[in-house]
């Protein structure tokens, strides 16, 4: 196998959560371009249909399942759809996430819990559901954030805690599953990429943050997709338990 062939996912099946907008759409398209068939989950089924069309335009097959990752039963149903539709499950991109910014003395237990339920618990339920079907050689890529590694001038206790917890979840699942089951588990920690989530920032925030980024700009979703593809494919075959910042260098400032 040539080095470039290690990045191919021909004959493999990838589950992407949060595939109805933003980065999840880019991941689904990129994995399809690399040869994978896709199983797409998010709550907004009508938007998932657009992502199915993108995957099909890349020449691959896709199935969409309305999924709330905070519900373990929904997660099991999404993983089962991969097996029912395609007979296998090789890659999970644990991308579904919600962002908030609430000052700590004002944040209610419900607000805090609702973020952790999706970002952390949802990632764990999805990993459990998918790993049960994965053969050796499979790969899980969790989407953490630079907010799991540093701060960025917003009050984001729930988001930051959930994204830091994904670093620990990644390490622990790699320790449990890589040796015993042959499943690699890694994470990426994205910096700033344009999406519905970053559209919610106040005017001027991203511009101020850009001054902290050595690359001097936001990331292009395709640059993040390339990192996810490396970890999802045999190209990353000797990497497990790691969290990789893809952030234009902001975490070194």
Ligand X SMILES: NC(=O)c1ccc[n+]([C@@H]2O[C@H](COP(=O)([O-])OP(=O)(O)OC[C@H]3O[C@@H](n4cnc5c(N)ncnc54)[C@H](OP(=O)(O)O)[C@@H]3O)[C@@H](O)[C@H]2O)c1
Choose among 210, 194, 106, 105: nearest CA to 153: 210
Nearer to ligand X, 179 or 214 (CB): 214
DSSP-assigned letter for residue 153: S
Given a contact cutoff of 8 angstroms between Cβ atoms, the answer to whether 91 and 141 are in contact is: yes
Structure tokens at 239: 């990497």
Least distance to ligand X from the beta carbon of 162, Å? 8
Nearer to ligand X, 95 or 233 (CB): 95
Structure tokens at 156: 């984001």
Nearer to ligand X, 98 or 234 (CB): 98
11: left (phi over 0), alpha (psi -120 to 50) or beta: left
Least distance to ligand X from the beta carbon of 146, Å? 6
| Residues annotated as catalytic (active site), given as ranges | 159
Least distance to ligand X from the beta carbon of 185, Å? 16
Least distance to ligand X from the beta carbon of 192, Å? 5
Q: Radius of gyration of the chain from Cα atoms? A: 17
Nearer to ligand X, 192 or 244 (CB): 192
DSSP-assigned letter for residue 202: P
Given a contact cutoff of 8 angstroms between Cβ atoms, the answer to whether 143 and 127 are in contact is: no
Q: Interface residues with ligand X (CB under 6 A)? A: 17-18, 20-24, 42-44, 47, 67-70, 95-99, 118, 143, 145, 190, 192-193, 195-198
């Amino acid at each position: 196998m040539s080095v470039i062939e290690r990045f191919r996912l021909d004959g493999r099946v990838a589950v992407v959560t949060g595939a109805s907008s933003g980065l999840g759409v880019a991941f689904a398209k990129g994995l399809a371009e690399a040869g994978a068939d896709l199983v797409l989950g998010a709550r907004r089924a009508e938007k998932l249909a657009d992502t199915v069309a993108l995957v099909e335009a890349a020449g691959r097959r896709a199935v969409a399942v309305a999924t709330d990752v905070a519900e373990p039963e929904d997660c099991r149903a999404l993983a089962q759809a991969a097996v029912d539709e395609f007979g296998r499950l090789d890659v999970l991109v644990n991308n579904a996430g919600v962002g908030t910014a609430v000052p700590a003395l004002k944040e209610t237990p419900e607000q805090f819990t609702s973020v952790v339920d999706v970002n952390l618990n949802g990632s764990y339920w999805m990993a459990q559901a998918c790993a049960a079907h994965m053969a050796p050689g499979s790969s899980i890529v969790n989407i953490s954030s630079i907010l799991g590694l540093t701060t960025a001038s917003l009050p984001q206790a729930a988001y930051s805690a959930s994204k830091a917890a994904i670093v620990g979840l990644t390490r622990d699942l790699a320790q449990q599953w890589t040796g015993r089951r042959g499943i690699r588990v890694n994470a990426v920690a994205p910096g700033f990429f344009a999406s519905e989530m970053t559209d919610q920032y106040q005017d001027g925030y991203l511009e101020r943050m850009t001054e902290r980024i050595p690359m001097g700009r936001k990331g292009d979703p395709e640059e993040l997709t390339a990192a996810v593809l490396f970890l999802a494919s045999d190209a990353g075959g000797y990497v497990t338990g790691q969290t990789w910042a893809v952030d234009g260098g902001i975490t070194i400032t």
